[in-house]
Structure 1
């Protein structure tokens, strides 16, 4: 119509690959920046679960005084050896700090020997080393209570990575069903089935259930290792996830029922399959904990 300009939806956004180029980031750096909330994305108007970046968001980032170095530095990751050098400690001490959960990995990958290599944000390591309250942990003997935990085999790296990864998944979830899928991604399928008893609801949750971030051939040894890292192992962690999944499932049902097959003609509605009631025997453990896993994550970061 005269006097009206029709703007195509994609004219306001661009694909992640284009956004990464415009921001001077490698694709892995861009993906991590999105995970960390440094770069905001929006759902693709075409659907399919893809994400895009608004041109206004790119302009916002490029207008920063320290662009592009500041953005690039904020997503720089390092391994154990480089992380130890940043904090001016030995690699052995750095590993002890990581096992104790005092520094938290942001990524992992499997090397050619299928050993897990944890990666950490360089920015966070510098901040930890600069904190006066951490001075006693960077030199001298490890406090006795912490040594006892290490001697007992404590290693919080997988658990802390899961907590951080869940934050990534929830940040990009657009509705309760996607949030349910994110929570289910960290639970063994048997645990999920005990909470999501209706098979059609479970199939809908699994539709949004992301797999481990490590790239590996299905059913390969590397894939099994990545899946093990992705799956909650501690009883209290499992309890928090189950409780959060149960609450999110209730929100999802109110938001939009899961798709069910249409009843056959002539079949009374009363005879259609109904979701099985959840057994009290499977009620989430310790529901009184401060709002489940998300409360625990907030306490860990405080």
Structure 2
């Protein structure tokens, strides 16, 4: 059988790359469809990431208007094309995005290290078609309240993207540790160290902590910019993340405590030349020796 297809307990499933080819999507479009809940995935029982069930490919490909309808649902546009979709100047579109009236679905960094936000074309069409949105779209000047927020330098694009991406990651999480990792992905290391003082537990949490959805070598300018966007910087946002992570960690600890190293028994030294019955026995370890070996490692407690 091809290496792209595996047999799971209930169904056949294939790699995301193969699923994208069969559905006529680019790999990034497939990832977005998964994030949006359009395409369902399952964990690979062999530990190789997530797979797309064959039944899911058949379900999606049998939909009305496939494949054009599927591509329309995952089509993303930047500022210029988004402004055209909504029939507004590019400057007004940017102001709407800064105010959080339209929410980016992803971003990338161009060669000038500038952040390029991308939006779902379908969402922009729905926003423009809603008559309640006519004032910020069509009035010659922005409503006074909105102008005041812009004058303060408000830009909700990073925070709104984080909220949306957090929902994506939580939707893919299969257990409390993965949920905790998804929440921890948006907090800086100092915040995580305060909430999870136990080093073994913190190390286990970091295994489930995804990075920004952009490529770039660790420490490169691209990676640093993406990490900054990924990290919450608003006090209210940080407070909510801390509270949610604290609650999820309590469930994770109850369900499956973080693994810890186990102390190994030291074998008795060999005494050549002495019969086994005459070799000195290993002295009995005093009660509580394991506790003393672990002294200095704090026990995991709920923050």
TM-score range, shorter chain: 0.7 to 0.9
| Per-residue Cα deviation, 1:176-228 (whole angstroms, up to 9, x for no partner) | 11111111110011001111111111000001111111111211111111110
- Alpha-carbon contact 2:201-2:259 (below 8 Å) kept: yes
Query: In the alignment, what sits opposite 1:275?
Result: 299
Distance 1:260 1:177 in 2: 15
Aligned residue pairs, count: 272
Which segment is superposed worse, 118-127 or 217-226? Answer: 217-226
SS of residue paired to 1:37: coil
Distance 1:153 1:111 in 2: 23
Matched, 1:229 2:250: no
Query: In the alignment, what sits opposite 1:152?
Result: 152
Relative to structure 1, the CA distance from residue 58 to residue 224 in structure 2 (aligned partners, 3 Å threshold; closer, same or farther) is same
Shift of 1:257: 0.6
SS of residue paired to 2:80: helix
SS of residue paired to 2:146: helix
Query: In the alignment, what sits opposite 2:210?
Result: 210
Tell me the C-alpha RMSD between the 2 structures: 1.6
- Alpha-carbon contact 1:87-1:125 (below 8 Å) kept: yes
Query: In the alignment, what sits opposite 1:57?
Result: 56
Query: In the alignment, what sits opposite 1:93?
Result: 92
Shift of 1:264: 4.5
Divergent runs of 4+, >6 A = none
Distance 1:210 1:19 in 2: 23
| Per-residue Cα deviation, 1:153-182 (whole angstroms, up to 9, x for no partner) | 000000000011111111111111111111
Relative to structure 1, the CA distance from residue 90 to residue 55 in structure 2 (aligned partners, 3 Å threshold; closer, same or farther) is same
Distance 2:185 2:300 in 1: 22
SS of residue paired to 1:52: strand
Shift of 1:268: 3.1
Query: In the alignment, what sits opposite 2:188?
Result: 188
Which segment is superposed worse, 263-272 or 199-208? Answer: 263-272
- Alpha-carbon contact 1:197-1:278 (below 8 Å) kept: no
Query: In the alignment, what sits opposite 2:79?
Result: 80
Distance 2:298 2:179 in 1: 23
SS of residue paired to 2:40: coil
Distance 1:151 1:74 in 2: 34
- Alpha-carbon contact 1:23-1:58 (below 8 Å) kept: yes
Q: Tell me, which stretches of 5 or more residues in structure 2 are unaligned?
A: 1-5, 266-284
Matched, 1:244 2:244: yes
Query: In the alignment, what sits opposite 1:256?
Result: 256
Query: In the alignment, what sits opposite 2:279?
Result: none
Query: In the alignment, what sits opposite 2:122?
Result: 123
- Alpha-carbon contact 2:98-2:154 (below 8 Å) kept: yes
Shift of 1:13: 0.9
Query: In the alignment, what sits opposite 2:47?
Result: 47
Matched, 1:179 2:179: yes
SS of residue paired to 1:126: helix
- Alpha-carbon contact 1:98-1:104 (below 8 Å) kept: yes
SS of residue paired to 1:13: strand
- Alpha-carbon contact 1:105-1:120 (below 8 Å) kept: yes
Shift of 1:143: 1.0
- Alpha-carbon contact 2:13-2:51 (below 8 Å) kept: yes
SS of residue paired to 1:120: strand
- Alpha-carbon contact 1:212-1:230 (below 8 Å) kept: yes
Q: Tell me, which stretches of 5 or more residues in structure 1 are unaligned?
A: 1-6, 280-302
Matched, 1:66 2:65: yes
- Alpha-carbon contact 1:177-1:205 (below 8 Å) kept: yes
Per the normalisation by structure 1, the TM-score is: 0.87
Which segment is superposed worse, 235-244 or 12-21? Answer: 12-21
